A and B are shown apart, each in its own frame.
Chain A
């Protein structure tokens, strides 16, 4: 039996090639994920180990809030056995760029490291208070050179100038890489960042072991600090970064799982077809004495061999994919510092890759193998192979109804529930059940659907078109499994498209209703000086200039920031959304409160609350509870009341709208001019915000689409596979058609249209599922979503699926058209 299996495999190696490819891709993706994350992890631990090498003992503050007192440095330095103790300072100090504004979205970090920890890439470490280093990528982006003078704002927004003496590499510190960093001497760093102590004290040993030195240092450090050896510190840091690669791993593995699921369907289908085609061969084996168990075993063995060989190739593919990903990360994302060790296949990856590939292949082949055992020996004697008629069995219908009802119930519950994570999970569970319903009903659905999808081709391409439609429905089970593999990918893509389109529309809508401004002026650190607002007033180009101010205050004896907004704009542009009450009644003696504050303090509209400072609080009547997404301060009092209590404070932010018909360039210039003297005060326009948001969404969508692309490719392999197996099965039929006068091109066209129909059916089901569940998911995000159907994108998915089906048909169709008529007619 073993030998028969092997010869059978060799005979069908071409037919199994596409199946193998599906497994190779699936396993390759999973293995590639591990290779990538292993490589990054290895890179992190290498870097941390390298860093730890230089530090023997580290004293670390318990948090940014309570740094190590500066006095501790001397105490630690005087511990017996300590050769050297140096401070690490870490805080924020905005760096001013070439444009006169603070650099970047996030406030630049101000740091100081012991010289042996500072990875100086050019120049030298800071030696005096007037010297500073800028991190390499910021220096490159800003065009700073050694010898330049750079300006940095301190905590009071006072500008200080430094001589740039070098650049340094922030290494694997993700936070510094994101923010950008300037390195100073410890004293300057503390002065600039306003830090009152050290983040860390690094100790080197004069001789004692790290362990004993740690104990000695811990004795003086007290309970306010954590004391670790260099190794412990490195392990901790590597672990916390490992946690971030865990997210990457889990995320990627989810896509890998989808790809494997699709590959499983392809394998299931292939073995199903191979068994069907070998009915007579199997029956012959049974005739000459093979037991059912032997037949079953031979199919399972076949799948195991295919699975094993493909998984091994998949591991190789994974190594390649992992290497490619590492390479791409290094090449195209120089800002994200990703350390990379050498790319290797760890034993764990090998075991996981082989196991998933092998198990999935064998499991997928079990049902077809069972089918094979049902072949009656007498089938060997029948000449005409029977057509596979399909009737929806009672069991199938019952299961479909059960799953369908459960899916509908869960979905309904999720959609009608209060929007939160549980609702989303409920909807997703409903979605999975709905998918199973479609899976069960597939063979029933595929006949009418292919009629629908084949309607136009049938009109356009005449006989070949109509024959193709017939062919696509002649074996509903096979067609259903083929198309459902594509459905998975298309469903997820449509789902994501609907979700992101809706999120974008909702965000736009919210921006429109709650941020009815053209420009926003805010400071990167601190407040916007009052003079900015004054400079903005009185220009005909600007319709409204709304100042938002906040100060620490008290609400019913609890600490809360109290805020106000320029009163004149409340009636006009700024229309805050109230969940109860109305902003219309906002006048002296009243207050508006954000819903989360109101909920916390159990405040209703009409209540009187006491608002003010610790010294003096006044009762105010609550006229509106504001939607938490409103831009207004969470406790908004009338402007005059605010001024009386808190004085003329600087602005938190200023929202500006341009006058109707005003020259927008001019308006922007006025705003820029007003903010120009203040480096930390930056202007953003709503179009910029929208653009950034759109860019972010598009980025996410294209990454996800790319990752789902793999599942789509695998399902296309499935279509190509089914088609070529069908072509093989219908060799005589094709020969007959050719004898009757069907041209080669028409025969090719017939198969192409069949593939087109399969692709369209898969895409149709996928888009319907994706739209329904995309919609259902959006209802669980918040009450007020503006649902948006990305019609263009979805049409593109459908068209692309059809086109992909056509591509999948190229090779099988060519083969069918090439075979000789006489030879095929004669073949048994």
Chain B
């Protein structure tokens, strides 16, 4: 089809449109977005508040239905799947990191990390598990419940959980939004490491130019449209682009 799909993309969207509500109350959150996210790359999505970042992510991840357009994860067009197939696809191919409330309060850190695999009835790759645990530095916290962990530690558990099932893509919606800059930096560098060393594909929504600078590429949204892209961003170039967009 178009050139975008010819790039090795983990996730692609074509003419993605999302309208909330109908008639006068209709909100056009996405107005036809074409975008691809390369495999083994770390991509950030930025934009002003209300520009449609979260909506885009939810549609890409199959969490929300689309009004029009196509989304493909790997070789599966998810916009055609029913709820059950979609659930299975999420289970097997997609990982999530949310801004808050990532963990089940009744389970320990380790149980939370293993949860997606257990839901799928798969065995964890013990070597991968050890490696992930050591990289995120959670070895001595595995038996703790979420309420006994700091916010940064909770997010690291969430990252470990997303990685452990080796999904085709991980979606992260402002994963560092609730963290101070040091914990945030820890989580971000860990995300980047997992892309470099484990070959993970990550798509991250963020407000923070510094966070975005950890990514390989940044796409900018405004009013539901993709308006700009940056390769190899630095905090400064991201900030400049944002300022230009706001104007």
Contacts and interface: CB of A to CB of B under 8 A. Distances in A.
B223 interface: no
Nearest to A733: B104
Given A467-B106, A733-B105, A821-B63, A383 B100 contact: yes
B227 interface: no
B216 interface: no
Nearest to A821: B63
A783 interface: no
Interface string B38-59: 0000000000000000100010
A740 interface: yes
A601 interface: no
Nearest to A469: B106
B106 A471 contact: yes
A613 to B, nearest CB: 87
A741 B116 contact: yes
B147 interface: yes
Given A470-B106, A474-B105, A825-B98, A463 B64 contact: no
Contacts of A386: 147
Nearest to B84: A743
Interface string B166-202: 0000000000000000000000000000000000000
Contacts of A737: 104, 119
Interface stretch (B86-94, B132-140, B204-212, B237-245): B86-94
Contacts of A738: 87
B119 A463 contact: yes
Nearest to A473: B106
Given A467-B106, A822-B63, A740 B58 contact: no
Nearest to B171: A739
B120 A741 contact: yes
Nearest to A470: B106
Interface string B109-122: 00000011011110
B145 interface: yes
Contacts of A742: 87, 91, 119
Contacts of A534: none
B87 A744 contact: yes
A732 interface: yes
A386 B83 CA distance: 32
B118 A462 contact: yes
Interface in A677-712: none
B115 A463 contact: yes
A583 interface: no
Given A386-B147, A463-B118, A740 B90 contact: yes
A387 interface: yes
A552 B10 CA distance: 108
Given A462-B118, A467-B104, A740 B83 contact: no
A646 B121 CA distance: 90
A744 B105 contact: no
A821 B59 CA distance: 12
B102 A736 contact: yes
A739 B96 CA distance: 8
A462 B84 contact: no
Interface in B144-158: 145, 147
A741 B104 contact: no
B101 A740 contact: no
Contacts of A383: 100
Contact of B101 (A471, A736, A743, A822): A736
Contacts of B147: 384, 386-387
Interface residues on A, range: 20 to 34
Contacts of B81: none
A738 B62 CA distance: 11
B107 interface: yes
B58 A387 contact: no
Interface string A364-394: 0000000000000000000110110000000
Given A740-B115, A740-B119, A743-B84, A470 B107 contact: yes
Contacts of B96: 739-740
A739 B64 CA distance: 10
B105 to A, nearest CB: 5
Interface in A464-511: 467, 470-471, 474
Contacts of A743: 84, 87-88
Contacts of A822: 58, 63-64
A463 B118 CA distance: 6
A533 B145 CA distance: 85
A217 B145 CA distance: 93
B89 to A, nearest CB: 8
Nearest to A732: B101
A383 B104 CA distance: 16
Contacts of B105: 387, 474, 733
A55 B207 CA distance: 99
Given A741-B92, A825-B98, A736 B104 contact: yes
Nearest to B88: A741
Nearest to A742: B119
B119 A744 contact: no
Interface in A615-674: none
> Looking at B61, B84, B105, B145, which has the most chain A CB atoms within 10 Å of its CB?
B105
Nearest to B59: A822
Contacts of B119: 463, 737, 740-742, 746
A468 B119 CA distance: 13
Interface string A384-428: 101100000000000000000000000000000000000000000
Nearest to B91: A741
A756 to B, nearest CB: 17
Interface string A728-769: 000011001111111110100000000000000000000000
A554 B234 CA distance: 122
Contact of A741 (B90, B107, B145): B90
Contacts of A741: 87-88, 90-92, 116, 119-120
Contacts of B91: 740-742
A738 B107 CA distance: 16
Contacts of A740: 90-91, 96, 115-116, 119
A629 B174 CA distance: 84
Contacts of B54: 826
B234 to A, nearest CB: 31
A674 B124 CA distance: 86
B195 to A, nearest CB: 21
A386 B105 CA distance: 9
Nearest to A386: B147
B52 to A, nearest CB: 13
Contacts of B106: 387, 467, 470-471, 474
Contacts of B98: 736, 825
19 contacts: A386-B147, A387-B105, A462-B121, A463-B119, A467-B107, A732-B101, A736-B98, A738-B87, A739-B63, A740-B91, A740-B96, A741-B90, A742-B91, A744-B83, A744-B84, A746-B119, A820-B64, A822-B58, A826-B54
CB-CB nearest 9 A-B residue pairs: A741-B91, A470-B106, A822-B64, A463-B118, A741-B90, A743-B87, A822-B58, A463-B119, A821-B63
Interface of A: 383-384, 386-387, 462-463, 467, 470-471, 474, 732-733, 736-744, 746, 820-822, 825-826
Given A463-B115, A741-B92, 15 more contacts: A387-B105, A462-B118, A462-B121, A463-B118, A467-B107, A471-B106, A733-B101, A733-B104, A736-B98, A737-B104, A738-B87, A741-B120, A742-B87, A821-B64, A825-B63
